[in-house]
Each structure stands twice: as structure tokens, then as C-alpha cells.
Amino acid sequence: MRKLAAVLLGCLLLTGCAANWQQDLRYKILSVNNKTPTEYFDLELVGDAPKGSLEPGKLKSQLMQTNLIKGAEVGDEVLCSVEQEKGNAFGNSNVVTHLKNCKKA
């Protein structure tokens, strides 16, 4: 029983510093960035970053490949599923922001 408790405690300690946050957010397409071979939309968050996000500053401005938002143009607003994750103390502890499933609002 003590061995099982020690294993469970070890697992909790290893994942204890990891964090995850998700929410749907609205972005406005400001421009098309074509400085690289792949075209991207420059997106700006509409409104303020929500409370509880892991790193609000990383939500304000994002890039998304133009081919991943069907039928969108500069000036449109899009709704994206946004996830922020922070690794644990034994791996990468930086906050990483992912945008998924963006569609015209």
C-alpha cells in the first residue's frame, strides 16, 4: 500500500506544474502576411484577453495559415478554439498557444 501511495504521489509531483487552458475566442483578420512561402493571416484579439488564461499577452496577436480559414478575408472576424498549455518543471515550462478550428464568425 505504501508503494502505491509513493507512486501516486510521484506522478502528482511530476504533473503538478503542468497547466492547460481552453476557450473559444474572436479574432479580427488585420492583413495577409506573405513574407514567407506560406501565407498567413495576421489576427488580433477582439476585446480583452479572458481572465484565467495562462499568458494573456500571447492571445492578443496570432498568425493562422490563410488556407485553414475557409472563405475568410481581411476585415472579417473569425471564431477560434484557443488552447494554452504550460509544461511541467521537468520539461518545457513555457506557455504555448494553439489556435484550432477557426471559422468565419
Give the pLDDT score at 62: 96
Give the pLDDT score at 66: 95
Give the pLDDT score at 97: 95
Give the pLDDT score at 95: 92
Instruction: Determine the Cα–Cα distance for residues 29 and 70; give it in Å rounded to an integer.
Output: 13
Instruction: Determine the Cα–Cα distance for residues 74 and 55; give it in Å rounded to an integer.
Output: 26
Give the pLDDT score at 18: 77
Give the pLDDT score at 3: 54
Residue 81, H or E segment: strand 77-86
pTM of the model: 0.78
Instruction: Determine the Cα–Cα distance for residues 71 and 26; give it in Å rounded to an integer.
Output: 16
**Any idea what DSSP says for residue 88?**
-
Give the pLDDT score at 5: 45
The residues of the chain scoring below 70 in pLDDT are 1-17, 89, 91-92
Q: Is 101 helix (H, G, I), strand (E, B) or coil?
A: strand
